[in-house]
Structure 1
Amino acid sequence: MKIKLFLITLLFSVTALAQTKGTIKGTLLDKEDKNAPLAYANAVVKGTTIGVNTDEKGQYSLSIEPGNYVVQFSFVGYENIEVPVTVKAGETVIIDKTLGSGGYQLQDVVIQKVVSKEKESALLTEQKNAVEMKQSIGAQELSRKGVSDVANAVIKTSGITKQEGSGNIFVRGLGDRYNSTTMNGLPIPSNDPEKKNINLEIFSTDIVEYVSIDKIYSSKLFGDFAGGNVDIVSKDYKGNGFLKIDLGSKANTNAIKEDNFNLKKGYNSFGFSNPGIPKNGVTEYNFSTLQLESENPVAGSFGISAGDNYNVGSTGKLSVFGTVSYSNEYNSITDGSVKSINGAGVANKDFEDFETMSFSTNVTAMANVGYKINTNNKINFNSIFINTSTLSKEDYLGYFVDGGEDNNGFVRRNKYDKNALWINQLLGDHKLSERSKFNWGVSYNTINGSQPDRTQNILNKFDYGYILLGQSAANNHRYFQELTETEIAANLSVDYKFSKDAEGDYKGKFTAGYSGRMKKREFEATQFNFKPLSPFLDEVVDVDNLDAFFNQQNLNNAYFEISTFRGIGSNPIALKPQYYNGDLFVNGGYLNTEYKFNKLTAVLGLRAEYLLQKVEWNTSLDPVGDNDELDKIAFLPSLTMKYELNEKQNLRFGFSKTYTLPQFKERALFIYEEVNETKIGNPDLYESDDYNVDIKWEMFPKSEELISITGFGKYIQNPINEVTIVSSTNDISYINTGDYGYVAGAELEYRKVLFNFKDGNAKKLSAGLNASYLYSNQELSSEKVIKETDYNVDFTDEESKLTGASDLLLNADISFLTEWNNKESNLTSTIAFTHFSDRVYSIGTNGRGNQVDKAFGSLDFITRIKLNKNLGFGIIAKNLLNPAIDRVQENDNGDINVLSYKKGMNLSMSMNYQF
């Protein structure tokens, strides 16, 4: 009886409580899509945490206590609408609204709960409505595909590949020098002295809201563009307060199979070690140990992130987001071989046994503060610090000329790379009036990229032990390099809308803007050579304890001598490093005119840009030193058109002229030596001019579906390539190799929801495919090179594909999603496959054919489970096929394999808890 009485009382209490509340419900429509239902928009009661997202039919429902309120309706990139409403107990108020862009951007939206651009559906909606041609991949898709860094994010889009062993990407067959990288629209410096762009692998997706790839030039971008621009958009938090902790563990199958995974001693596990050049390095032995220590090759990661919003006054809002993370990774390359051949196909280096071991770290800290002063003004500040390091050991055993003719040559190279990047940005958006808007951004970025203490030792291996080789002083050396780059950049733009139609929408818009950058690079390097002296050349040494030979006592006893390229210790400038410095100044102004002619929208732009690049050097190739300048005035027109075939289909066209600028190191007379190749700069190198054209058809059947086909072409005047010049050591340099080159191709993208079932709990099976076909060709002219430079090149062929260009690129994935517990719990599983066909690594010279990276595919499996609104787990298995990665030298008598290895599979587990 008591139980019945309790249940009856509880029922009446719940009923009474429900009757004390009222309901606000309705439907939101999309003005930009012919008043179709607007899914995933926001309906929020202002000043409260009560808010919902519309469903696929654009419908919403809010339950709230009686009273007077203001309901805010908003969507990413659309104008927000505020509606006053009076709610009475037990009654329902119907509010239907239509949202449109109204010239507003993301920063104009005033909400507490937001559908951010992390979501695939929101990014597809933006792509559909935008005039520009671009592709974006958001945090939701990155998580679903198990992507942990930006480099592996961009290769999930059509027409983009990544060079193995680096974060260097190729967009439509065009490599590093043809591409550019920005964060929130502002340029960021490079961490690699040989590269124009920063290694995208160092950017963890933890700090990313989405990544946008522009393959079509727009006047707002700097003119140094031909392949594409990767823009990393950092997280700008707008949700309710949260605190999240992430933990993870990772292992590489090659690394854990190693009987003795060992690396050079003396470096801490967090990647902040930075041993400097020792004092008196040519007269005293003050160098760190060459000994190795064993490691347990199981990696781990930790991260913590938090965000919240605070009301400031009656109209202002302060949003704060921060994250700090640490991760490490062990990798090993096995089953490796490396070879270098001459024009007759005869090897001068043939290392049949090649293996590497490495330990990498990444420490990332980010703070984002957004202050919305009112509905018309907002300021954002971003500060990001990233410290990365890689400690590696490379062992080569086999044949080489002048010392290893009996297949007993052994080379050990220990290398430590450290990069510290600091990005600071201040961004502002201001609505000046109904017609005009002002956007601005300034940045100050610094990077310190160092290679502190690269060691190399060359020996002969015998049954009774190892003997140091001393024919060349550089056989045994320690190398120190330091790069510091500082960049200041600014973007300013003003929009002015005109030609208002009868419905109150503006048909036209002028955009006038300025962008400038000032970059300064300082680079210096010192190599200490350790030459064994007679009669100690034949002394047996312990390859894992070379400190027993290279030490202060043996230096005093003349077992070996230390020198730099400037000489031995008696030379007063022996410790003066070789260096090159570079300065880049770019100032550009542009004017865009956008106009909508019924279904056709066109944007005509013109950018005028002045650039000045200065390089000075004092190196082993030029101990006296010299300098060089390159300046250019460029007028860069662009045209973009979008034609709305119907409410779900667009036809787009783009045309532009751009240029490609050589990099500092490419024009400085500096030499960098790897085990199997040597690179030197070319002061006579100059820029290329590029012409770009695209045409694209796209259809959006549903909110999460897309079909698109793109055709594109590029014509390049005076293309730049890395080629082997005629020299005693077959050095590689950077050359304008011919008068022209061109690329043509097609891209296909397809996203489809294969199965979508909702019966209390949602279940969805979806698939994605993007593919591209590419044809490239360029002229190769030895006469042009001899005429324009001090170098001589003997091209094997008169024409060639562009380096890095694969005929066929393919990305495919299939995902299953199931939700339960009122969508607080879910499971997502994805299988992702990537394939690229053969691509040219380097152009053939001196009778040798091209070096070609052979085709291979990669298969990944990702599954993530969210047990409740707080706790989640993930399992990722990458490179399941573990294919052999091969590079061949084309030869008349058949291809010769010059590089081969396997990376192994990477297995990882993660856990996160959100408070």
Structure 2
Amino acid sequence: MRNLVIVILSLISTIAYSQKGTIRGTVYDGTTGETLVGVSVVIKDTYTGTATDLDGKFALQTNPGIYDLQLSFISFQSLIVEGVEVKADEVTVLNNLELGESTVELEDVVVTARAIRNTEAALQTMKAKSSVMLDGISAAKMELIGDGTAVEAAKRVTGVTIEDGKYVYVRGLGDRYSKTTLNGVDIPGLDPDRNSLQMDIFPSNLIDNMMVSKNFTAEMPADFTGGLLNVSTRDFPDRKVFSVSAGTAFNPDVHLNEDFLSYDGGGTDFLGFDDGTRALPDRARQSNIPTPISGAPQNEVVDFIRSFNPQLGAKEQTSLMDYSLGFSFGNQIDLDSESAKAPKLGYIFSLSYKNEYDFDSDVQYGEYQKQIDPDSYEMRYATLQNGAVGERNVLVGMLGGIAYKTNFNKYRFTAMHLQNGVSRAGKFSIDNDASAVGQSGYYAESDNLEYNQRSLTNFLLSGTHVFQESGWEVDWRLSPTFSSSQDPDIRKTAFTFRSDDDVMFNAGAGGNPTRIWRELSEINATAKMDITKEYQFGEEDATLKFGVSHNYKQRDYEILFFDVQFFGGQSWEEPDASQVLNPENLYPNQPNAIYYQSGNNNPNPNAYESNVHNTAAYLSNEISLFSNFKTILGVRMENYVQRHTGRDQSYASGDTRNGRNLDNDKVLESLDFFPSVNLIYALSEQQNLRAAYSRTIARPSFKELSFAQILDPISNRIFNGSLFPYSDWDGNLVETRINNLDLRWELFGDRAQNVSASVFYKQFDKPIELVRIPEQQTSTEYQPRNVGDGQLYGFEFEFSKNLDFVSPLLKYFSINSNVTLVKSEIEMTDAEYSARKTYEKTGESIDDTREMAGQSPYVINAGLTYNNYESGLAAGLFYNVKGETLSIVGGGLFPDIYVSPFHSLNLSVNKKFGEDQNTKVDFKVSNLLNQKQESYYHSYEAENQVYNIFNPGRTFSVGLSYQF
């Protein structure tokens, strides 16, 4: 109650002093780029002043007018900022104030306030002086350019590639080797099997900065190799934030399309979750569900059948246009406006909503095999699927936080909730070739209905404490995350054609109608503490860091399967899925007499529980052995234990002698030490030569280290957990350990201009790749496996340059680009090499090495931007392409699967209006080149054949935002 009274009185005090204005700013060390604590900030020739807090921030209230500020700190040159304009009840923000070190008496440095507000010097200094190879983008730059979301801003970070419009990858390495953290803490994304967080849910005005570390140091988690992206959200907004936004998008191939496929959902689909319409019927979990075979009374069988939703067919309707809404507000309050060193309270909140449609009328899936004859080069198809898929995707994001700080202590609490619902409907024709190995031969038409709802709730409680006199700093964080993913009532209904006018459901061909319920829930809890000590080594500054952390994860997963059976024969007038569950076709009505049969054993082989305990400790020391040469030595220890409860199909079917059953058994246990060495030689104030060595790790996910068998109902492809043994696989999946070497030259200029060249080498011990299972020839099944040792060599060149050196007329234009070239190599296992040799073609010479799965041979990012701060107009043209990439490893009968290069070209334009530029209009065009996303089978001297083809089309979007 006392604290509530203080807050209320503070709000009243704030209103009482509303005729005054406020100056806020952040002060940095011009040498290291770090914030400075305790800097004196005074309005020149007055006694009005304050000092910077533990974040290097200050706030001054004064009457309207134009003032000069004087900043002073022991052993630093004083800085005078001239012409700081203060308006009544408004905040003037000075983003980057830098103090230069001084060993002799020099005159004060004088700058103008306008120059201070429009620079990104602090970020450049931080990148140049960082102990790691660092790239990023600041809040000031995001505000200047006008990016609406974090994913738009991330496109401007060197070496970053955006996948699926939301996930961030670094240096062309896939999700397994990239990682995203939020406010320095591990957080799973909406897809719990990804390392990357969905980035399109963060409004840019809530982000303080986004930094990408391209090499490892001991204080970082060890499970990344390509890059670690950390997103820092604001806790104390520099000025009041109160904005609303709305947008819409149009794709000619998708929106206002009368052929769009959908099906009836629940009343809360528009909020991203099902209202119970698709819920599993209560009696379906009974060990003996009522069926005619079990002798259940007829009324119970009928009631059970009718408890299932009767809709099985996709229907056509007109799709709407995409739309999005956003709202955010935040501010900071001085809890005692009379005191220059008063405690401060900061708060921030954001709500975002997106409703998007996608429709592809020409989706293709293919399953191909090699010919057995070594002189027959062309592949033959096993199964071809062609059809159309309609999708509605709803994403709701909420982020809120409150923070309290004094000059040397800060406490922070943030909460985030994401809710995502995807409704999908498809119609397909299926052609299976009897002449292919393991195939029966049939033609079918299928209706597929799906719904996936995912949610993620994250909390962060943290504290930072600075002991200025002794040089110690303590930072602690507690962060639990609760996530879930549910697929309620996946429905597949495939009529098999025996002739043009004779259709039926055939379990050995298109299959009987099936329904699947999948449910996953996961807890991820992190606790960590970092301690830093600043001290002197010789005459140079040095930093000692050490800390501990513990991460606990637990996942529960279950799949329940039900299929339609017929008590007698079948007779269908036409292949119409929407008519299958009509009352006249249900038991006991003949001839079809439909009833439901459970496909679930007890215990369920497709249910598991897994948990992880990961305890870590680290020690790192940064010293300068001599002038201009910095050394950062560190080691991290991680004790990782993963346990699993689950069983295979044999055990679940009653074969306890030969089947496998795990009861909270350890499936992965390791104690690893991860050393890191970073050497930095400053060739000049803005030019560095860096060398780094580190050891990192990539671990299998819960799904990969399980007995789970997960069916994709549209493509009919099956994922198998690695615990299943085969003749060429022992069922023991282990971690991948990676040695990393980096060498980089970098040159920094003003206005975020830079140029750098890097070479890097990575050595992989037992990398994990997704492999087609050779033994499963009648079905299409994949499994994650350790393959042979691998290595890659890479070269990276990047630059960012303003074009005013060409002509003053181009002063608002800049270009940036980075090119990564990689040569990767995997030493095949004996089993893989032997399988490939068995199907070697005449003239083909198979070596015992191949490229790595998931690694692109090249990545090109390029951007041309225009930014006129005075007029409020900004525009950008951004291009990205990844080279042909091995996606799934084949072997034997089955060819390798590659992803084609996707040439992504996007245009964005935004214009700010009004005296204070508070109104902004955005216009974007995505996929300007109208490229298709294609994966294909590749075999020696054969024409490439389709694995997947999707056409995202070209999308035009417009948005409007207003900041009060």
Alignment TM-score > 0.5, same fold: yes
Say which of 735, 746, 762 aligns to 1:687: 735
Matches within 5 A, 1:99-114: 113=93
**Separation in 2, partners of 1:887, 1:549:** 43
**Separation in 2, partners of 1:697, 1:720:** 32
Q: Is the 8 A contact 2:218 2:618 kept in 1?
A: yes
Distance 1:80 1:826, change over 3 A: closer
Q: Is the 8 A contact 2:257 2:318 kept in 1?
A: no
Match of 2:177 in 1: 178
Q: Is the 8 A contact 1:297 1:330 kept in 2?
A: yes
Letter in 2 for 1:69: T
Q: Using the TM superposition, give the Cα deviation of residue 764 of structure 1 relative to its aligned residue in structure 2, in angstroms.
A: 1.1
Please list the CA deviations of residues 138-185 of structure 1 after superposition, one character each: whole Å capped at 9, or x if unmatched.
456668888766566656545554555x85665444333333332111
Distance 1:310 1:621, change over 3 A: farther
Say which of 661, 670, 680 aligns to 2:708: 670
Helix, strand or coil: the match of 1:125? helix
Say which of 796, 801, 812 aligns to 1:747: 796
**Separation in 2, partners of 1:793, 1:690:** 32
Letter in 2 for 1:113: V
Q: Is the 8 A contact 1:399 1:407 kept in 2?
A: yes
Match of 1:239 in 2: 238
**Separation in 2, partners of 1:612, 1:550:** 55
Match of 1:251 in 2: 250
Q: Does 2:960 correspond to 1:893?
A: no
Distance 1:549 1:409, change over 3 A: farther
Match of 1:636 in 2: 674
Q: Using the TM superposition, give the Cα deviation of residue 328 of structure 1 relative to its aligned residue in structure 2, in angstroms.
A: 0.9
- TM-score between the two structures when normalised by the length of structure 2: 0.79
Distance 1:168 1:712, change over 3 A: same
Matches within 5 A, 1:404-415: 408-415=443-450
Q: Is the 8 A contact 1:249 1:299 kept in 2?
A: yes
Helix, strand or coil: the match of 1:124? helix
Helix, strand or coil: the match of 2:872? strand
Aligned residues: 838
Q: Does 2:104 correspond to 1:68?
A: no
Q: Using the TM superposition, give the Cα deviation of residue 201 of structure 1 relative to its aligned residue in structure 2, in angstroms.
A: 5.1
Match of 1:331 in 2: 358
Match of 2:606 in 1: 578
- TM-score between the two structures when normalised by the length of structure 1: 0.83
**Separation in 2, partners of 1:430, 1:871:** 39
Match of 1:50 in 2: none
Helix, strand or coil: the match of 2:703? helix
Instruction: Give ranges in structure 2 of 5+ residues lacking alignment.
Output: 1-19, 78-90, 97-116, 291-303, 372-378, 655-659, 724-731, 841-845
Distance 1:666 1:321, change over 3 A: same
Q: Using the TM superposition, give the Cα deviation of residue 768 of structure 1 relative to its aligned residue in structure 2, in angstroms.
A: 1.3
Instruction: Give ranges in structure 1 of 5+ residues lacking alignment.
Output: 1-20, 47-61, 103-110, 568-572
Say which of 842, 847, 866 aligns to 2:912: 866
**Separation in 2, partners of 1:713, 1:763:** 38
Matches within 5 A, 1:289-438: 289-291=311-313, 292=315, 294-313=317-336, 314=339, 315-344=342-371, 345-351=379-385, 353-372=386-405, 374-401=406-433, 408-434=443-469, 435-438=471-474
Q: Using the TM superposition, give the Cα deviation of residue 847 of structure 1 relative to its aligned residue in structure 2, in angstroms.
A: 3.8
**Separation in 1, partners of 2:320, 2:547:** 51
More displaced, 186-195 or 668-677? 186-195
Please list the CA deviations of residues 612-646 of structure 1 after superposition, one character each: whole Å capped at 9, or x if unmatched.
00011145464166224111011111111221110
Say which of 618, 621, 633 aligns to 1:593: 621
Matches within 5 A, 1:51-62: none
Q: Is the 8 A contact 2:272 2:420 kept in 1?
A: yes
**Separation in 2, partners of 1:143, 1:469:** 60
Helix, strand or coil: the match of 2:222? coil
**Separation in 2, partners of 1:67, 1:732:** 74
**Separation in 1, partners of 2:39, 2:466:** 23
Q: Is the 8 A contact 2:803 2:810 kept in 1?
A: no
Matches within 5 A, 1:151-166: 154=154, 157-161=157-161
Match of 2:542 in 1: 508
Say which of 799, 815, 824 aligns to 2:849: 799
Helix, strand or coil: the match of 1:269? helix
Distance 1:913 1:214, change over 3 A: same
More displaced, 807-816 or 894-903? 894-903
**Separation in 1, partners of 2:933, 2:58:** 55
Distance 1:92 1:81, change over 3 A: closer
Q: Is the 8 A contact 2:561 2:600 kept in 1?
A: no
Distance 1:599 1:148, change over 3 A: same
Letter in 2 for 1:279: D
More displaced, 287-296 or 447-456? 287-296
Q: Using the TM superposition, give the Cα deviation of residue 742 of structure 1 relative to its aligned residue in structure 2, in angstroms.
A: 0.7
Helix, strand or coil: the match of 2:704? helix
Please list the CA deviations of residues 695-731 of structure 1 after superposition, one character each: whole Å capped at 9, or x if unmatched.
1111112232111111111101111111012223342
Q: Is the 8 A contact 2:250 2:956 kept in 1?
A: yes
Distance 1:147 1:82, change over 3 A: closer
**Separation in 2, partners of 1:235, 1:556:** 66
Match of 1:529 in 2: 563
Distance 1:303 1:31, change over 3 A: closer
Match of 1:280 in 2: 283
**Separation in 1, partners of 2:464, 2:205:** 25
Distance 1:91 1:204, change over 3 A: closer
Helix, strand or coil: the match of 1:913? strand
Matches within 5 A, 1:97-176: 113=93, 115=95, 122-138=122-138, 154=154, 157-161=157-161, 170-176=169-175
Helix, strand or coil: the match of 1:68? coil
Identity %: 21
Q: Is the 8 A contact 1:248 1:911 kept in 2?
A: yes
Helix, strand or coil: the match of 2:468? coil
Helix, strand or coil: the match of 1:755? helix
Letter in 2 for 1:612: V
Q: Using the TM superposition, give the Cα deviation of residue 187 of structure 1 relative to its aligned residue in structure 2, in angstroms.
A: 0.8
**Separation in 2, partners of 1:907, 1:100:** 55
More displaced, 506-515 or 436-445? 506-515
**Separation in 1, partners of 2:633, 2:412:** 30
